[in-house]
Amino acid sequence: MDLAPKKQRRKLGEILRASGIITDQQLQKALEFQKGEGGLIGEILIKLGFVGEIEIVQALTAQYGFPYMPVENYELNRDMVNIIPENMARQYGIVPIDVMGDILTVAMSNPLNDKAIEDVELLTRKKVQVFIGTVTGISGALNKLYKKR
C-alpha cells in the first residue's frame, strides 16, 4: 500500500501566474472567457494575446513532465506516413517521429488526449511515447510530412 501523499498537480493558469508569465487579472479574464465560451485555458490565453505557444508548452512540461520537442526543427522520416494515416494525424494533431521496436515516438500539441493515444496504439499495435510540441510546429510538421508526393 502506497502511503506517500498524492502530489496535487497545479493548474496551468496557476503555474503561469506563479512564474510571472501572466497576471492575476489576465488569469481571471481567461477564466471568465472559458466559463462563457468553453475551451482549454492555454488556448484561451493564447487567443487573448496574454502568452505565446512556447510559454504554454513550457508550463505543460512543468505541470505534467512531457518532454518538449521543437518538431518544426526535426528531420522528419517520410516513411512515417505509413504508420499513422494523414486523417488521423491531422484529427489528433499528432506527428509520428520514430519507431524503435514496439515503441512509437510521437509529438502532439495536446498530449493529454488519451483517446488519441489509445487510437494510435490500437492502430499501430505499438506503445506510444509522447513528446509535446506547439500547435504551429505540429501543423507545419504535418504539412511537410503529408505533402503530396
Q: Is the pTM of this model over 0.95?
A: no
Strand order in the sheet with 127-132: 94-100, 103-108, 127-132
Domain-wise residue ranges, the chain: 12-51, 71-145
Q: How far apart are CA 135 and CA 137, in angstroms?
A: 6
Looking at residue 23, the DSSP 8-state letter turns out to be -
CA atoms lying within 13 Å on the CB side of residue 6: 4
Name, in order, each residue with C-beta under 8 angstroms of 110's C-beta and a sequence gap of 6 or more. Answer: 40, 92, 93, 116
The grid cell for 21 is 508569465
The pLDDT score that the predictor gives to residue 3 is: 39
Q: Quickly name the fold that domain 71-145 has.
A: GMP Synthetase; Chain A, domain 3 (3.30.300)
pLDDT tens, N- to C-terminus, the chain (149 residues): 443 334 446 788 888 998 899 999 999 999 999 999 988 888 899 999 999 999 998 888 888 888 999 998 888 888 888 899 999 999 999 999 999 999 999 999 888 889 999 999 999 999 999 999 998 999 999 999 998 65
Q: How far apart are CA 81 and CA 78, in angstroms?
A: 6
Helix (H) or strand (E) holding 27: helix 24-37
The pLDDT score that the predictor gives to residue 10 is: 72
The pLDDT score that the predictor gives to residue 137 is: 93
| CB under 8 A, 24+ apart: contacts of 119-122 | 119/88, 119/92, 120/84, 120/88, 120/92, 120/94
The pLDDT score that the predictor gives to residue 148 is: 62
